[in-house]
Amino acid sequence: MRKKYGIRVVSGILVFLFFKLTQENHWQEFFDWDVTELVFMLYTIAVFLIIWEVATFSIKHYKNRESFQSNSGFFRVFFKAAFTMLPFVVFFSYLFDFHIHPTCCDMYPKACGNTLADVDSISQFWIHSAQGFVFSLLIISSDTIHLYIKYAVNTAREKELIQKELIAAKFEGLKNQVNPHFLFNSFSVLTSLVEQDSAKAVKFISKLSDMYRYILENDQNDLVSIEKELSFLDDYHFLLKMRHQEGIVIENRIKLRNDTVKVPPMSLQILVENAVKHNAFSPTEPLHILLYNEGSQFIVVENHKKPKAELVKSTGIGLKNLSKRLALSIKRGLEITENSKEFRVKLPI
């Protein structure tokens, strides 16, 4: 803070010296100082600090994340800030030439003998306004270029971070998708079906292969249509029913069937699997999982909580990974709420 305002004060002094040098009849008079010169210098420094603050505020007010993504956006911020500065420059020039300068000259007439006598107040006012506006443009240029460089550096860092996060998220996603326990349980169920009901075994294999085909096909996709995701969830539900019979009930009340509605692949399956993992259920007391949409903003997955007798140690990897994938793809994360009776996850779409 001290360094910033120190630089601005020094800059204000240099601006005053520039004005003094351009207004003297002879350059030797540049070294003549009196009380009025000190007053004029202090006024110049104060105005310069105010103008710089206004310039900084204007640029921050007009700029946004998209401003520096194109030359047109960059120049829009520049010209808007410049037009905001103009009335301030004119006002301070008017205040100096028609009030402060005449008052000082009335009080110290000899001290004003070095000023240009052949230039009237109006002409001096326009000269000061033009010079002040030029300095304002220099300030705006300095601040906008500084912000542009800062934005470019931050953007490069964000892109690098996003790439690292994306690689990590995809790696975690792949580990979650090919869940060893899920595969083991599926093969156990398949073994029983082959011995008891070959027709169901064939259907089970078909559904399992459809699921992993979907996983492989969408491994590189950040988002898929809601229709494809619900179809994948139906296959997953079928496998759950083969294993748990009527112990799990998934009620789908989602009324979105538009191809433009997108969600991360396997997202609904992860949320359902999370409910299955952490709750006790049986055919007589089934786990009821409800899916519905809140307008076109969220898909909600909720279930009644009934913790297992032996608590399952939760790493939270599945939900954290899904939330991270959402943040990378649509800049929003999961919204999780729970109480003693219900667990609810809102998936942004």
| Domains detected in the chain | 2-167 (no CATH), 178-348 (3.30.565.10)
Angle at 186 between CA 181 and CA 190, to 5 degrees: 150
According to the model, what pLDDT value does residue 115 have? 47
DSSP-derived 3-state class of residue 346: strand
Q: Give kind and range of the element (H or E) at residue 128.
A: helix 121-177
Q: Is the pTM of this model over 0.85?
A: no
H or E element at residue 109: none
Q: Where in 68-179 does DSSP place strands (E)?
A: none
Q: The tokens 């052949």 sit on which residue?
A: 118
| Banded model confidence at residue 298, pLDDT cuts 50, 70, 90 | very high
pLDDT at residue number 289:
95
Q: Looking at the predicted structure, is the pLDDT value of residue 175 above 70? A: no
Taking only the tens place, the pLDDT of each residue in 44-68 is: 888 878 888 888 787 777 776 555 6
Would you call 302 helix, strand, or coil by DSSP?
strand
Max Cα distance, the chain (Å): 116
Checking if the pLDDT of 24 tops 60, the result is no
| 314 vs 335 pLDDT, higher one | 335
Q: Averaged over 11-15, what is the pLDDT?
A: 74
Contact 226, 265 (CB under 8 A): no
* pLDDT for the residue 300: 95
Q: Are 166 and 177 in contact (CB under 8 A)?
A: no
- Please tell me which of 33-37, 175-179, 229-233, 241-245 the model is most confident about, judged by mean pLDDT: 229-233
> Cα 306 to chain center, whole Å?
38
Backbone dihedral region of 33: left (phi > 0), alpha (psi from -120 to 50 degrees) or beta?
A: beta
pLDDT at 225 exceeding the cut of 80: yes
Q: Which residues pair with 224 in a beta bridge?
A: 263
Number of other CB atoms surrounding residue 276 within 10 Å: 18
Are residues 108 and 192 in contact, defined by beta-carbon separation less than 8 angstroms?
Answer: no
Tens digits of residue pLDDT in 176-186: 555 566 677 77
The pLDDT score that the predictor gives to residue 21 is 67
What end-to-end distance do the CA atoms of the chain give, in Å? Answer: 43
Length of the chain: 349
